[in-house]
Structure 1
Amino acid sequence: MAGQTRQTMSNRADNKSVSDVAARWVARRDAGLTPFETEELQQWLDADERHRDAFDHYARAWSAFDRPARAGAQDAVMRELQARSKRRRARRVSAMSGAACAFAVVLVFALMRRQPDAGELSHAGAQQQSSVVVSRPESRVLEDGSTVELKPGAIIDVRYDETTRRVILERGEAHFQVAKGLPRPFVVEAGGMEVRAVGTAFAVQIDSAQMEVLVTEGRVAVEKTQSSAPAPLDTTGGDDDPGAELDDARIPPTFAAASPAVPIVPVAVLGVCERVVLDITMPTVTAPVVTPVSPAELNARLSWRISRLEFSSTPLAETVALINRSSHLPDGSAGARLVLDPASPGLAAEPVSGVFRADNIEAFVQVLGLSMGIEAERRGDEIILRKPR
């Protein structure tokens, strides 16, 4: 009997270890993995069926917790989580109720309160000193002052000349903030299409079949390049002499007026919070549909631009300052500002650990309450954090 008890306890401890590692892998994947970490995760998943089951379980929970923010229903979810935490006394939340939102709170709670064990992740190692890692998409400043943010996997080729500021998007997705006050048009070329803008901001995505344009500021014109060659000209003039000279009357009008530039055809004009999706496999574009995009949809569509913040025993004052600086959404709006109550001594030095999306302030505050007992009070656009009274 004693042997069976020890075996049962051992199995429980092993399952908890698997669960803890799976939770941290899910959070790190959301923040972005390096190629080496991606390979390491795959090896861990393939090593044991329980690993994959635990990972899938936490991935669903994390997704459920993050989705309300993208759908604009975060406040309602947070109120529900607060009610649940009161009913379950917060300390018992870690028992895992089975509800997806509660699972996600426990997931982040575990990340905040416990550092990775040695050997669980190769990059975890021993307990680390205070540190902060900010994960952002790659950003480039072009020679004219325009900026380009590249979603992982995107490739661009910059080709500026005296008449045009041209960027070729070879694959993936990029967001462009075009420098204002310059005479040369800014052109993004992708899949036989061109997006022209001056002093505006927009995103372009391309795959093997489609090209999408989404405007976040100003207006842009979408055009199609006519790269297909016209039918060969009849150089005989009806004569048997193949060397007869061409008569201008027989030259097609488009050829007579041709210039070294590639002919283009207007496709659509887009304003702020509008998008168009085009089929680039077809030789012509017919009646493209420009659709409006709500701020919530825009923020969700460009969520890859939002910073991920990883804290390791970081003082709360530092985490709050960084979140306040990094919490702007892709549409330019910002969430509530976090403020530490000066009447709560020692609060600023409280250590925080975990991985968070910079825009998910409400979730961050909820975790502080569950894991550290920190109270929050909303005052207009500010959230006041304090120790329990």
Structure 2
Amino acid sequence: MSSTSQQVDEQAAKWAALRDLGLTPQQEAEFQHWLKADKRHLGAYARAEGVLIRVERSHGWARDISSILPPVKTSPWTRRRLFFGGSLAAGFAAAGVFGVALWKKSRRQIYATGKGEVREILLADGSVAKLNTASTIEVQYTDDARMIRLVAGEALFDVAKNKARPFVVRANDTLVRAVGTSFTVSMLPRNPVRVLVKEGVVELKRADATAAPLRVGANSQAIAPHDGPIRAVPIDRSKLVRNLAWEYGRLAFDDQTLEAAASEYARYSDIRIVVDPAIANKTITGSFVSNDPIGFARNAGALLDLQVEVNGREVKIFRRSP
């Protein structure tokens, strides 16, 4: 029999508190099994853990919610007591109310990655943001909306459903609105804003426009140039997967020229790949570690019978001598 939403929340709260205490190897195996048993479990657990993190960081929260939580005999309050101080259901409900209160008072939070770094961030509502290399986002949650501003770079968002609070990402003058979906937004120098929709549906519009938003479904790419209309085109699933390889610290090329591959690697490392113009249009296919340009160059040399020379912060690829 399928568990109710309340039961799932109770189970998630229990696991969050237990993990806070520390799991035995057997408990960790049971937790992983529970996560995989129902697609609702991951989102519920993320919400519970997000609440715990914010409870830990906040001051004076016991005073604000003492009328909601079951009474306890000892103090001070701790993360685990929130979930074990009486009914788990009551504790989780109280935490949910507290989470809404935090949204109302939320300050803008900034998250960033350095060159070659990928970072995953659990947001207050259970959504997850994953930042690609050299990327920055600003996050502000209120009781009316979940607002994200992409300051630079690229980010993937796995959005927790909440129809009452729209999830909106702003990149320059483009707004991307989503409810319960997975998509990336990229804003790179000398390129238009691009949105890849992995799952679900998003709506795009200009911040100052009155026209109806453009709806874009899964396996599609939306392009928003600063001087032209937003347009959407379907994208092959295999290409979508390649474009998202950075999630796992990889760059995936399919008949990519060496010149283009070198340019892509410049986003991930300060080690410069210099390609001889005579071979710049040679193409390469494969998956490579995103922050290892030397490893890529050596692999490309082996695959294409080229010579590679490493000199400090520079790696050269050129034809072999006759």
- Length-normalised TM-score, structure 1: 0.33
Greater C-alpha Rg: 1
Using structure 2 for the length normalisation, give the TM-score.
Answer: 0.40
From the two aligned structures, give the one with the greater strand fraction.
2
- Report 1 or 2 for greater relative contact order, CA contacts < 8 Å, sequence distance ≥ 6: 1
